Structure 1
Amino acid sequence: MTQGQAGSTTRRAVILVLDGVGCGEAPDAADYGDVGSDTLGHVCAAMGGLPLPNLERLGLGLVAPLAGIAAVAEPAGAWGRMLPRSAGKDSTTGHWEIAGVQLERPFPTYPAGFPPELVAEFAAATGRGVIGNVVGSGTAILDDHGAEHVRTGDWILYTSADSVFQIAAHEEVVPLEELYAACETARALLVAPHDVSRVIARPFVGTIGAWQRTKNRRDYSIAPPAETLLDALEAAGVPRAGVGKVDDLFAGRGLSSRHVAANAEGIQAIDAWLRTGSGGLLFANLVDFDTQYGHRNDVPGFAGALREFDAALPMLQSHLREDDLLFITADHGNDPTTPTTDHARERVPLLVAGARVRPGFVGERATFADLGATVAEWLGVAFRGSGTSFLATVVGS
């Protein structure tokens, strides 16, 4: 995890994204087939109430009605909700919007697989055949095509309801570097109108009936089309660091990131930055809610990940300095109680913690970009992107 050149500010901000942890359908959910989705609400209800005392203390029970979480009278932080404004409901779209960039059209998706001519071009450029080219989940796709891949060496190509071009390969059949090179080739081929949000390397190991994806996943995002919060901070010399897949989502522009295998490792990396970081921004993503539990409709697992984060929150808060702001939010929903395993078009929670935070309601923000604008103002740069800062609401004099 690296930082940019030192800026003049000693202030710090943390944007902590709980990937997929939405809090209720967005007003335009019907346009996405997501009417009724409510990730946090449904998980809490399905568990018969889900006590999360530390998030409760910050005001989570005031964000939305949640079984087992009280609407405390005197929260320790500021709270609110944010609405998605960009077209789409994937991680790239959500993180870009947080950083000030709104998209007018969604990234393309391929419910019937990718066009044959595009697949043929990819196969010719990489020197391997292609099997699959279907919509599927990461574990089922290996059951369906893993044996044939091991026998032939052909790429397993698949997609989902998201705008992704996913390439799976067994690490003992295809060297990792070759898989990564193939993803870079695909990224270069996938231009408009096939400008998918992400190309994803999906390496795996194991044998028939016991396939396992490894931690060597890599995401190759399309580059943001406009200036982001990260670009503005870099230009101003303000340090930036990442935890999780954040750098991949911005095509490596504006920061580098420490990639982690699980939420627990990510939490430790966030805590390490809080203990040692000199100033600037930490942009972190905890992905297990989404990849391990939301996409697999695993309600108990999702609830367990929420408990794990809640239990770690006092440790993170204990290392906040006088001039630190911690923003806890999400990038979209992924309701594990619905029949679909896809992302959901949802509002996201917004909690703000720090010694200088004035407890209170920051409203239902019209766009995720308001968060990026607030961070920019806190760190002393003029950039506001497509958002409006709410800093004056949350920071006391």
Structure 2
Amino acid sequence: MKRVFILVLDSFGIGYSVDANVFCDLGSNTFGHISEYCYLGKANVGRYGPLYIPNLISLGLGHIYQKMYGQLPNGIIGSSNIISTHGYLSELSLSKDTTAGHWEIAGSPVLFKWDYFDNKKNSFSDLLMNYIIFKCNLSGILGNCHASGTDILYNFGELHIQTKKPIFYTSADSVIQIACHEEIFGLEELYQLCEAVRSILDQYKLNVARVIARPFIGENKFNFFRTNNRKDFSKPPNGITIMQKLISELNGQVIAIGKIADIFANVGVTKKICAFGLKDLMNCSINLVKTAPSNTIGFINFVDFDSLWGHRRDFVGYAQGLEFFDNQLPRLLHSLYDDDLLIITADHGCDPTWVGTDHTREYVPMLLYHKKLCNKYIGNRKTFSDIAQTVAKYFALSSMNYGISLL
């Protein structure tokens, strides 16, 4: 029985990459800075003491960092019994967003430029917005700016309730986000609006990676909060992914948990499982390991690290999330069959101690566990697509266009 499980710790970078200066991220280090802040006791509430993730360390995470920087992160104790093939990956894609990171993991790096909305205010052109308003029969829109998910609701949520005008906003990523009250505007109405906007962008060949539905509830700006009914309307991958190869060449299954299906516009996905929150995502992952048939790729995104803690610059929440994930890892490892391949990685960085609220250009860890593989340090790999090439060789599929197998 051959199965692969890819766990993406969304935004868990391990230090700025060689091209980080291009992205103004020179000095960022998600793993290193979280460890440092925990060790120095900078948390006012919520947790105390050094970051404690012994199972990730036993998989080689600390050893990777030590090889990169000549020392372990502050407060991290190394392991004398590493049980995985481990190293770190450079990103080949020309951007540092979720879509590019995941597509590259799947073997289709983004070697072209996305279209971005660079203006902090009046981010979307009058021509585009007037057309959207006309085609979608809207009375108008609110926002039209760069903003965080919390600030946009605080500033425009009450006016949205009064007018029912959807809130449009963006970020440093190639994205249009649309926030609407789930009950007053309607969840299905929001999805239909986002789908229409996606269609308009594609019609006019605007190369925008995602349109994201951001439903929220609450009565006023002091208690608005986003619900778990987020939905991404993405462009389909620009090349053949490892998931598509598994389906076409082996009639295999690709089971996506979390937002994976949305990231790939459902291309190369045979089944999707909705899960929200770290606990639910981990439980679904463990259940998948226990039940998935042969010739399956299980692809899971742990979004909370990015959306709840990275972007919100909450290193305490991030640390607690890592410790919870680490605590649950033995349950997952013990559920693996002898021939299973487990890959733990990330799609970009989002250093919670860094300036601003955007992603950070960083290397990501590559932890590859198989019960019959020995401990091996593989150093720096030149593309996330080494993961896809490894999976292709494991399943004896035709080769991917990018990447070098680790097997």
Q: TM-score, normalised by structure 1?
A: 0.94
Return the offset for 1:68. Answer: 2.5
Stretches of 4+ aligned residues off by more than 6 angstroms = none
Return the offset for 1:140. Answer: 0.7
Q: 1:250 aligns with which of 248, 255, 264?
A: 264
- CA deviations 1:14-60 (Å, max 9, x no partner) are 11000000000010001011110100000011000312111111111
CA root-mean-square deviation: 1.1
Q: For 2:389 and 2:335, locate their aligned partners in 1 and report how far apart those are by CA, in whole Å.
A: 24
Structure 2 residue runs of 5 or longer lacking an equivalent are: 40-49, 66-71
Q: For 1:145 and 1:109, locate their aligned partners in 2 and report how far apart those are by CA, in whole Å.
A: 23
State whether residues 77 and 358 of structure 1, in contact with CA within 8 Å, keep that contact through their aligned partners in structure 2: yes
- CA deviations 1:315-338 (Å, max 9, x no partner) are 000001011011000000000001
1:7 maps to none
1:6 maps to none
1:320 partnered with 2:336: yes
Return the offset for 1:190. Answer: 1.1
- CA deviations 1:342-390 (Å, max 9, x no partner) are 0011000111122112211122110000011101111221132311111
2:42 maps to none
- CA deviations 1:116-173 (Å, max 9, x no partner) are 1111111111111111110000111001001111111101000011111001100122
SS of equivalent residue, structure 1 residue 102: coil
2:292 maps to 277
Return the offset for 1:257. Answer: 2.0
- CA deviations 1:199-243 (Å, max 9, x no partner) are 000011101121011111100111111111111111021111111
Q: 1:153 aligns with which of 159, 164, 168?
A: 164
Q: Which aligned pairs between 1:333-344 and structure 2 lie closer than 5 A?
A: 333-344=349-360
1:182 maps to 193
State whether residues 229 and 385 of structure 1, in contact with CA within 8 Å, keep that contact through their aligned partners in structure 2: no
2:241 maps to 228
2:47 maps to none
Structure 1 residue runs of 5 or longer lacking an equivalent are: 1-9, 392-397
Q: Which aligned pairs between 1:309-388 and structure 2 lie closer than 5 A?
A: 309-388=325-404
Which AA in structure 1 matches 2:86? W
Q: For 1:135 and 1:385, locate their aligned partners in 2 and report how far apart those are by CA, in whole Å.
A: 36
State whether residues 14 and 325 of structure 1, in contact with CA within 8 Å, keep that contact through their aligned partners in structure 2: yes
Q: For 2:118 and 2:179, locate their aligned partners in 1 and report how far apart those are by CA, in whole Å.
A: 18
Q: For 1:238 and 1:383, locate their aligned partners in 2 and report how far apart those are by CA, in whole Å.
A: 16
- CA deviations 1:286-314 (Å, max 9, x no partner) are 01000000010001000000001000000
2:46 maps to none
1:100 partnered with 2:107: yes
Q: For 1:181 and 1:71, locate their aligned partners in 2 and report how far apart those are by CA, in whole Å.
A: 50
1:395 maps to none
Q: For 1:321 and 1:104, locate their aligned partners in 2 and report how far apart those are by CA, in whole Å.
A: 36
1:14 partnered with 2:5: yes
2:209 maps to 197
SS of equivalent residue, structure 1 residue 173: helix
Q: TM-score, normalised by structure 2?
A: 0.92
State whether residues 232 and 383 of structure 1, in contact with CA within 8 Å, keep that contact through their aligned partners in structure 2: no
User: Sequence identity of aligned pairs in percent?
Assistant: 39
Q: For 1:318 and 1:305, locate their aligned partners in 2 and report how far apart those are by CA, in whole Å.
A: 21
Q: Which moved more, 1:169-178 or 1:144-153?
A: 169-178
Q: Which aligned pairs between 1:27-176 and structure 2 lie closer than 5 A?
A: 27-48=18-39, 49-64=50-65, 65-112=72-119, 113-128=123-138, 129-176=140-187
Q: Which moved more, 1:325-334 or 1:252-261?
A: 252-261
Return the offset for 1:193. Answer: 5.4
Q: For 1:44 and 1:147, locate their aligned partners in 2 and report how far apart those are by CA, in whole Å.
A: 39
1:216 partnered with 2:216: no
Which AA in structure 2 matches 1:295? H
Q: For 1:202 and 1:318, locate their aligned partners in 2 and report how far apart those are by CA, in whole Å.
A: 37
SS of equivalent residue, structure 1 residue 148: helix
Which AA in structure 2 matches 1:360? K
Q: For 2:218 and 2:34, locate their aligned partners in 1 and report how far apart those are by CA, in whole Å.
A: 32
